[in-house]
Every structure is written in C-alpha cells, then in structure tokens.
Chain A
C-alpha cells in the first residue's frame, strides 16, 4: 500500500542529504504537495502523482545545482552556525571521551577523592562523561547522515547540555539560539 506521507518524508531526507547549500525544505514540500493534489484532481493515482511531481520539482541532483548556484553570492560572509556547532560538538565528543577514559585510568591506578570532591563522586563523573560523549557522538552522526532525526536529537541534546557547566552550558545555549533556524537546512 502506497503511503504518501511516508514517500514525501523519504523524499525530504534524500534532498536534505544530497544538498549542502541551505534548502527551504518546508517550502519545497508544500510545493510538492500542491502539485500532487493537482495531479490527483485530474485523475492520477497517488503513486503516479507523487512520481510526476518529484520529477517536475527536480531530482536531488538538479535541485542541488540550483541552490548551490543561488547560494554562491551569499553565505561567504555569513557564519554558518550549523557547521560551527557540529565542529564544536565533535571536539566536545572527543574531550569528554578522553576525560572519561582518563578518570577511569586514574581511578584504577591511583584512586581516592579528586580535590575536595568525595571519592564516591568519581564513578559518577566517569559515567556522566561517557554518557555525554556517546550522546554527542550519536547526535553528530545523525546530523550528518539522518538530518531529520538529527534536528530533533540536537534540540534534545542542547537542553541536556545546559546543566553541564561550564562548556556544555555554553554549547547548549549556542545550539538552542543559533542552530537549525527557520526552514533552511545545512548539512
């Protein structure tokens, strides 16, 4: 059974993954749906109407060219917050992983409390660092390869980062403020 919403969702993912320039996904989806409705009114079945509409709006490759061409004049002088965020996220992923491994090795070899923190907090700090590292790694992976889920995960991660003083808080606030804004999407 053909599921139109599913087909459109897949089409969106394909476009988002194939284009590196900012693309108004919501606007393009609206266009696609208008076209499909029009085709179906004139008697085409849903799958046929979908196929025809996708062909008309241009395959990922052709759309990519159009948006890359149009994007050339702008974007050079603009900070790409999404890319910047991903880069910082990658650094944080590595840092927290290193931190967790370092703490684990220290606990095994030296042991005892760290500074004025009681000893029982050490395993928690290790677990927390590992958890953040995995969460950030997964989000980073999703942003690259599953843009739709990546956006949702990013949003969740940013809130989860807020209590992680000080770096996590800064990254969380930055993410909530500047990343994945409007309907444009950077991959």
Chain B
C-alpha cells in the first residue's frame, strides 16, 4: 500500500502500519464497503493518503479471517451486490490496543516537536 500527497509523501511503512487502525476506526462508525473506505480515507487525509485499490481487498480479507471484521453481501440499486464490512468484538479490542499505541507515539512526538519550536 502506498500513498502520495500534494507536497508530502507518506512512507510506505507508515501507510502499511496505519491501514488496519484506519479501517477499524472507519468501520466503528458504521458498516462500509471497499470503494467507500478508499474514498473516505482520501477525503479525510486531504488526498494525502491514497490506498491503491487492489491492495485494500487482501487486507480486508485478512482482517476478516482474523475475526476482527465480518462481511455480508447487500443488494443495491439495479440488481448489483456490494460486500459490506462491519467491525466485530475482537476488532474493537484490536482497535483499542492500536489506539493506545498510536496515542503514545503521537504524544511523544508532539511533545518533542513542541519543545523544539518554543
């Protein structure tokens, strides 16, 4: 999974590490499907995180196998079907852990950078 932004480019490793927490956080707000998840991440990041389309699905399927999320097919307009994903209990647990880790990282970096600027 890679990303590029207007001016800045997120490192591949950073994108890879943040994909699962991002998906889990988005699904905690309600069920969604692959295409919408990509659009939503793009919008929220101001086009700075752009998941490649083909990459998202293997990640979603792996998370489904882990028991973090579950999927169901929903019939939408003109007979088409869409695979909607929603978060499960284990997914919420995993999200909580990831959230704590990212919060620690965020506060340490923020603190360090604040000192530098003062």
A residues adjacent to B (C-beta < 8 A): 24, 26-28, 30-31, 33-35, 56-58, 62-63, 66-67, 69-71, 73-74
Contact = CB atoms under 8 A, between A and B. Distances in A.
A66 B57 CA distance: 9
Interface stretch (B24-32, B80-88, B90-98): B80-88
Contact of A74 (B53, B65, B81): B65
B61 interface: yes
B71 to A, nearest CB: 9
Interface of B: 33-35, 52-55, 57-59, 61-62, 65, 80-83
Nearest to A26: B81
Contact of A57 (B54, B62, B81, B83): B54
A177 to B, nearest CB: 21
Contacts of A27: 34, 57, 83
Contacts of B54: 28, 57-58, 62-63, 66-67
Given A26-B81, A69-B58, 14 more contacts: A24-B61, A27-B57, A28-B54, A28-B57, A30-B35, A30-B80, A30-B81, A31-B35, A34-B35, A35-B35, A57-B53, A58-B52, A62-B54, A63-B54
A33 B33 CA distance: 13
Contact of A66 (B33, B58, B80): B58
14 contacts: A24-B57, A27-B34, A28-B57, A30-B33, A30-B34, A30-B81, A34-B35, A35-B35, A58-B52, A67-B54, A67-B57, A67-B58, A70-B59, A71-B58
Contact of B53 (A24, A31, A33): A31
A28 B59 CA distance: 14
B67 to A, nearest CB: 13
B8 to A, nearest CB: 21
Contacts of B82: 30
B76 to A, nearest CB: 9
Contacts of B55: 66
A183 to B, nearest CB: 8
Given A27-B83, A58-B53, A58-B54, A70 B35 contact: no
Contacts of A24: 57, 61, 83
Nearest to A30: B82
Nearest to B53: A57
A142 to B, nearest CB: 25
